[in-house]
């Protein structure tokens, strides 16, 4: 790992992951530890975000750190044509840790090579969003008591969804069985299925959501975006076939929980929100503890 | 007459230097630009679309007084994995070398992902060479982590 930055979930071993989740658990029990007192955290969001930015800032504030940064590229010198390298070189000297979201893929890895302080990737285009993956893992472990031998259903846009790809890679350390439910056009890419075959993990593919979810431990929902379809008619046909409704949860396992990286549009019906199996809002809260763990561990404070 | 002696008739011999043989014909110009041969002043002769039992059609390059380091020549392995190097002295082959696929290639090829930082900012490309199914290689971008197929890669 380069100067302890967190860029890609693939940089973390199974042991690294478990250590971070244990630490996040500690923060959940005792969130008010002033470990970042005297530290300045920079949040550079070249692309808008609600949860990721605010949960990082909330985590930093709870730990007593100061936060500087910008929430969109319009309020930075990028607007004047400044290169990413120059922006990072500058912010580098104002802060102890850089948290960055950027629309270009690979920008976070590059920033970590330019910066002398650690960089946390808060999303680089369609590539990686490792802190989301860690909070997903935290949520799975918390609700299931373990990460081992689970049956995980991924639903929706499995072709372009970076969260499902990273989650798949991370969960492949834990003898997971995968079920992929998606429209034909948005199936899990071949490279990930090849990888599962290589390491000997089972996966199943379905195009129908309704009757296969009864043995799921986790249902991980994602948003299907209109712009992903080459044929708009195809989108109109499929958009309502991947909506999870409360009535569909009958007969699902007791321990089953529904996760979603959020924001959702219509893929989880509002009537699911009151079901105890819905977990997505708590999942978002878990992001704060997970990010506390990530920041303090990267800065060597824990 | 053997395959190689036929090509020797088609592309005149050199006294001293390097012969790169068994290049897939369609990749000849890519190999030339990868090795930067358009920028050197040595005598170079090449032939292409020569019949080859192994490749269908192959190309051959003969470079007078040019010798390669392993690092320089191995990068062509991605598009010409069966290429052979013959080192020539006094019109005789004194050494034959195979080409090895490198683990990493830097600053030679463009990443196939238009949204990659290397295609948008002034960043040198770095790829890890991944073994793919049956001896074809894939290039994984160090930055955006996307795969570029060497068959379609653009050389700077």
- Mean of pLDDT values over A272-281: 97
Per-residue pLDDT at A75: 75
CA distance A216 to A255: 9
Residue A41 — very low, low, confident or very high, per pLDDT cuts 50/70/90? very high
| Pair B120, B66 in one domain | no
| Pair B59, B19 in one domain | yes
- Mean of pLDDT values over A257-277: 95
pLDDT at A232 over 90: no
CATH of the domain at B29: 3.30.70.140
Domain with CATH 3.40.50.1370 in chain A: 32-128, 131-284
Give yes or no for A85 touching B (CB within 8 A).
yes
| Pair B114, B85 in one domain | no
pLDDT at A116 over 70: yes
Q: What is the ipTM of this complex?
A: 0.86
* Interface subset of B 84-113, CB within 8 angstroms of A: 111, 113
pLDDT at B8 over 70: no
What confidence tens digit (pLDDT) does each residue in A66-83 have?
999 999 888 777 777 889
List the domain range (segments joined by +) for residue B44.
Answer: 3-98
Give yes or no for B69 touching A (CB within 8 A).
no
Nearest to A8 among B123, B145, B147 (CB): B145
| Pair B36, B90 in one domain | yes
Q: How close B143 gets to chain A, by Cα (Å)?
A: 4
Per-residue pLDDT at B1: 43
B-interface mutation test, from A104, A119, A192, A194, most B Cβ less than 10 A away: A104
Q: Which of A19, A51, A187, A206 is flagged as catalytic?
A: A51
pLDDT at B81 over 80: yes
pTM of the model: 0.86
* Beta carbons of A106 and B147 less than 8 Å apart: no
Per-residue pLDDT at B101: 84
CA distance A141 to A21: 9
| Pair B58, B109 in one domain | no
pLDDT at B135 over 70: no
Residue B44 — very low, low, confident or very high, per pLDDT cuts 50/70/90? very high
What confidence tens digit (pLDDT) does each residue in A28-40 have?
999 989 999 999 9
Q: Which of A53, A102, A129, A223 is flagged as catalytic?
A: A129
Q: How many domains does chain B have?
A: 2
| Pair B111, B81 in one domain | no
| Pair B64, B125 in one domain | no
What confidence tens digit (pLDDT) does each residue in A143-196 have?
999 999 999 999 999 998 889 999 999 999 999 999 999 998 899 999 899 999
Per-residue pLDDT at B132: 57
| Pair B61, B7 in one domain | yes
Distance in Å from the first CA to the final CA of chain A: 18
pLDDT at B138 over 90: no
CB A68 within 8 A of CB A59: no
pLDDT at B63 over 80: yes
Per-residue pLDDT at B2: 47
CB A49 within 8 A of CB A56: no
| Pair B63, B118 in one domain | no
Nearest to B141 among A103, A106, A128 (CB): A106
Q: Which of A52, A163, A177, A222 is flagged as catalytic?
A: A52
CATH 1.10.580.10 fits A32-128, yes or no: no
| Pair B110, B130 in one domain | yes
CATH 3.40.50.1370 fits A131-284, yes or no: yes
| Pair B38, B86 in one domain | yes
Per-residue pLDDT at A213: 93
Q: How close B129 gets to chain A, by Cα (Å)?
A: 15
Sign of CA pseudo-dihedral A182, A184, A185, A190: positive
Using alpha carbons only, what angle is made at residue A204 by residues A202 and A205, rounded to the nearest 5 degrees?
150
* Residue A51 falls in the annotated catalytic set: yes
Alpha helix ranges (H) inside A156-249: 162-171, 190-199, 232-238
| Pair B71, B44 in one domain | yes
CATH of the domain at B112: 2.30.30.20
- If phi > 0 it is left, if psi is from -120 to 50 it is alpha, else beta; for residue A151 that is beta
Kindly report the average pLDDT of chain A as a whole number: 93
């Amino acid at each position: 790992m380069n100067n302890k930055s967190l860029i890609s979930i693939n940089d973390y071993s199974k042991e690294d992951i478990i250590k971070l989740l244990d630490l996040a658990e500690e923060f959940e029990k005792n969130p008010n530890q002033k470990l970042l007192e005297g530290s300045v955290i920079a949040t550079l969001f070249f692309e808008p975000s609600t949860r990721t930015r605010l949960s990082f800032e909330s985590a930093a504030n709870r730990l007593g750190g100061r936060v500087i940064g910008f929430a969109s590229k319009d309020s930075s010198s990028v607007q004047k044509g400044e290169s990413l390298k120059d922006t990072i070189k500058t912010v580098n000297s104002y802060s102890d840790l850089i948290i960055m979201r950027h629309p270009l893929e690979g920008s976070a890895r590059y920033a970590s090579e330019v910066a002398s302080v650690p960089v946390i990737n808060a999303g680089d285009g369609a590539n990686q969003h490792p802190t989301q993956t860690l909070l997903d893992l935290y949520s799975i472990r918390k609700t299931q008591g373990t990460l081992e031998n689970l049956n995980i259903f991924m639903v929706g846009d499995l072709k372009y969804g970076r969260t499902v790809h990273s989650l798949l890679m991370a969960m492949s350390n834990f003898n997971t069985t995968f079920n992929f439910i998606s429209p034909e056009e948005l199936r899990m890419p071949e490279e990930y299925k090849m990888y599962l075959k290589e390491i000997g993990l089972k996966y199943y593919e379905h195009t129908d959501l309704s009757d296969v979810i009864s043995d799921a431990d986790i249902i991980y929902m994602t948003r299907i975006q209109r712009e992903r379809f080459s044929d708009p008619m195809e989108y109109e046909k499929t958009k309502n076939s991947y909506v999870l409704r409360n009535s569909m949860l009958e007969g699902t396992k007791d321990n089953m929980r529904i996760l979603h990286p959020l924001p959702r549009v219509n893929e989880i019906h509002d009537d699911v929100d009151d079901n105890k199996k819905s977990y997505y809002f708590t999942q978002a809260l878990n992001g704060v503890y997970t990010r506390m763990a990530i920041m303090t561990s990267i800065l060597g404070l824990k | 007459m053997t395959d190689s002696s036929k090509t020797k008739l088609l592309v005149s011999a050199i006294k001293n230097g390097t012969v790169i043989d068994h290049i897939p014909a369609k990749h000849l110009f890519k190999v030339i630009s990868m090795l930067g041969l358009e920028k050197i002043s040595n005598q170079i002769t090449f032939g292409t679309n020569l019949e080859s039992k192994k490749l269908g059609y192959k190309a051959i390059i003969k470079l007078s007084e040019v010798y390669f380091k392993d690092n320089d020549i191995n990068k062509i392995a991605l598009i010409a994995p069966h290429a052979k190097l013959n080192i020539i002295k006094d019109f005789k082959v004194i050494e034959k070398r195979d080409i090895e696929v490198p683990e990493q290639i830097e600053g030679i090829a463009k990443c196939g992902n238009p949204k990659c930082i290397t295609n948008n900012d002034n960043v040198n490309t770095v790829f890890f060479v991944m073994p793919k199914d049956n001896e074809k290689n894939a290039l994984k971008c160090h930055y955006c982590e996307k795969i570029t197929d060497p068959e379609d890669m653009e050389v700077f």
